[in-house]
């Protein structure tokens, strides 16, 4: 497996040039060939401004380049343009927690910003630094072990730098699984999930990684914070909840006890087609409020369904799983509700549903498609939110209309704005929007930034969150600052000053100037 330094995932899955060209034919006015992928050795990296540290640090060009960006669309475009001007001066590669402590001590003494880096899959500018001075990226993927498994309480103590497959491989002999499968599963770490409150594959109930946490161990510049393994507690504000979502600003999550599941023995899925989004949304709302907690409950609007190869009508993908009991009757309960709201149900045999499988494979391939289109100067990006059901229809219509208008204004041609609900709650859905439009070579980042600025303002106006599970990073700061209650911001700044008095941890994320 060879990780791509400029784009998503692994180099072997990047789209061939011919496929990039074919894809681009759906948009008018794009170039007739893809932009070449630059080689790191042909690019000029600014010289490292950090001298010998005596610590486990690399200044090799390929290592610095691979830690220069996250994996947002704007990151991919900047990488394709060969712009490594913001690359870290050095990359720390701690092999032990003690080395994390040493690195933070060194950084605090010298006032050098440190940006924790897990899998580097941030799509919100969470793993770069925009302050201009020397900085260090701290890659935590060497801390990747499952240290302990408790088969009775079904939990494991896992190091924060473990990538999804790395931790699942180690859990497999126990028969247990974390079952947290974000789209970035292969290329993101447990610590990254926790620091960003990642969303997993469960569409209802335990949607965020937050719900799977038993305790955390966090290296802060003033000491190690370790909470107790507790299934539940009412002792003051939750210590873990302060670090969940702290995005590397308060400390580095080196270990967590995580709640595990037995591997599911029974699975069933179905897809349900609707005539329109109104009836589809009413079905999803009824399902989310029925207390049935399906593992999958993802609604694709007509545009999204068409992109994933299904019919051009809203499709709801339902899935149920259990390690204990057959699930057919539960699936029937769900599809019955969907039918009552006008859905046409299709279930495959043996628990396999063709539309569900197609969606899953499209889902995992999507970032590679994005990179292929980016090489063709298309604009391809997503943003996600959540709102209450009473506002869901208005949000869906308004975002499509207004973001669509901005896309046309910015790019000069109409684009696509599609939507799916990735997670749903009894009180509202988490809509996830995809924007696809023709960009102009060299102008893509500015164009996208204009669309993004407008979309943040629209979400804020509608009272919808700036992010459901992509995190805040640097790119979402305008929306986050608008959304966050000011007294809470004061409390968070004070907590930050107490834990990171030198202000070296991921400056610009959540707190302070970007």
In the complex, minimum distance from the CB of residue 237 to a second copy, in angstroms, rounded to a whole number: 4
The CB-of-477 to a second copy minimum distance in angstroms stands at 10
Centre a 10 Å sphere on the Cβ of residue 36 and count the other Cβ atoms it contains: 10
Nearer to a second copy, 78 or 420 (CB): 420
Of 302 and 387, nearer to a second copy (C-beta) is 387
Report d(CA 177, CA 180) in Å as an integer.
8
230/401 with CB nearer a second copy? 230
Residues 6+ apart with CB under 8 A from 271: 310, 315, 316, 317, 318, 345, 346, 353, 354, 355, 356, 359
The whole-angstrom separation of Cα 509 and Cα 415 is 31
Nearest CB to a second copy, comparing residues 134 and 160: 160
Query: Which lies closer to a second copy via its Cβ, residue 4 or residue 177?
Result: 177
Query: For residues 15 and 242, which CB has a smaller minimum distance to a second copy in the complex?
Result: 242
Rounded CA-CA distance 420/314 in Å is 9
- Residue 163 forms beta bridges with which residues? 189
Q: How far is the CB of 413 from a second copy (least distance, A)?
A: 32
- Report the alpha-carbon distance of residue 62 to residue 5 in Å, rounded: 8
Residue 129 CB, nearest approach to a second copy (Å): 19
Distance of closest approach, residue 267 Cβ to a second copy, in angstroms: 13
Least distance from a second copy to the Cβ atom of residue 119, Å:
17
Beta strands at 252-259 and 136-139: parallel, antiparallel or unpaired: unpaired
DSSP assignment of 224-270 equals: EEE----S---SSS-HHHHHTT-TTSS-EEEEEEEE-EEPPSEEEEE
| Tokens at 355, concatenated | 């539309």
Tokens 């995005």, residue located: 247
Question: What does the block give as tokens for 246?
Answer: 């702290």
- Closest approach, Cβ 304 to a second copy, in A, equals 20
The residue among 33 and 241 lying less far from a second copy, judged by its C-beta, is 241
User: What is the CA 27 to chain-centroid distance, rounded?
Assistant: 27
């Amino acid at each position: 497996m060879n990780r791509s330094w400029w784009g998503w995932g692994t180099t072997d899955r990047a789209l061939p040039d011919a496929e990039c060209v074919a894809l681009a034919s759906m948009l008018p006015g794009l170039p007739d060939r893809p932009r070449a992928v630059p080689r790191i050795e042909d690019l000029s990296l600014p010289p490292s401004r950090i001298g010998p540290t005596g610590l486990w640090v690399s200044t090799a060009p390929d290592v610095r380049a691979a830690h220069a960006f996250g994996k947002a669309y704007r990151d991919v475009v900047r990488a394709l343009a060969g712009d490594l001007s913001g690359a870290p001066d050095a990359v720390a590669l701690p092999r032990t927690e003690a080395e994390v402590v040493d690195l933070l001590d060194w950084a605090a003494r010298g006032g050098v910003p440190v940006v924790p880096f897990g899998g580097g899959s941030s799509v919100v500018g969470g793993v770069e630094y925009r302050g201009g001075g020397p900085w260090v990226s701290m890659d935590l993927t060497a801390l990747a072990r499952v240290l302990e498994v408790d088969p009775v309480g079904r939990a494991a103590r896992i190091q924060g730098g473990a990538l999804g497959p790395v931790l699942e491989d180690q859990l497999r002999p126990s028969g247990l699984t974390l079952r947290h499968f974000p789209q970035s599963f292969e290329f993101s770490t447990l610590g990254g999930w926790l620091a960003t409150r990642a969303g997993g594959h469960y569409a209802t109930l335990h949607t965020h990684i937050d719900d799977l946490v038993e305790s955390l161990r966090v290296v802060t510049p003033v000491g190690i914070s370790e909470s107790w393994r507790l299934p539940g507690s009412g002792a003051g504000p939750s210590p873990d909840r302060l670090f969940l979502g702290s995005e590397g600003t308060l400390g580095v999550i080196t270990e967590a006890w995580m709640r595990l599941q037995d591997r599911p023995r029974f699975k069933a899925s179905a897809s349900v087609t609707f005539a329109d989004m109104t009836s589809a949304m009413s079905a999803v709302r009824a399902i989310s409020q029925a207390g049935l907690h399906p593992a999958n409950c993802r609604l694709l609007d007509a545009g999204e369904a068409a992109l994933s190869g299904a019919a051009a009508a809203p499709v709801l993908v339902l899935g149920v799983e259990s390690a204990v009991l057959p699930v057919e009757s539960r699936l029937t309960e769900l599809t019955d509700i969907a039918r009552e709201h006008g859905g046409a149900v299709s279930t495959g045999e043996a628990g396999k549903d063709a539309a569900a499988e197609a969606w899953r494979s499209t889902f995992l391939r999507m970032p590679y498609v994005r990179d292929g289109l980016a090489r063709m100067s298309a604009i391809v990006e997503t943003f996600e939110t959540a709102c209450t059901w009473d506002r869901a229809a208005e949000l869906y219509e308004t975002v499509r209309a207004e973001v669509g208008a901005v896309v046309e204004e910015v790019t000069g041609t109409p684009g696509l704005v599609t939507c799916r609900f990735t997670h749903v709650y009894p009180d509202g859905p988490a809509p996830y929007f995809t924007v696809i439009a023709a960009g102009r070579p060299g102008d893509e980042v500015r164009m996208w930034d204009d669309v993004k600025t407008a979309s943040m303002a629209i979400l804020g106006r509608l009272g919808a969150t700036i992010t459901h599970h992509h995190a805040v990073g640097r790119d979402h700061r305008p929306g986050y600052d608008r959304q966050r209650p000011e007294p809470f911001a004061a409390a968070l700044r004070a907590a930050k000053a107490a834990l990171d008095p030198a202000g070296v941890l991921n400056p610009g994320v959540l707190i302070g100037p970007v």
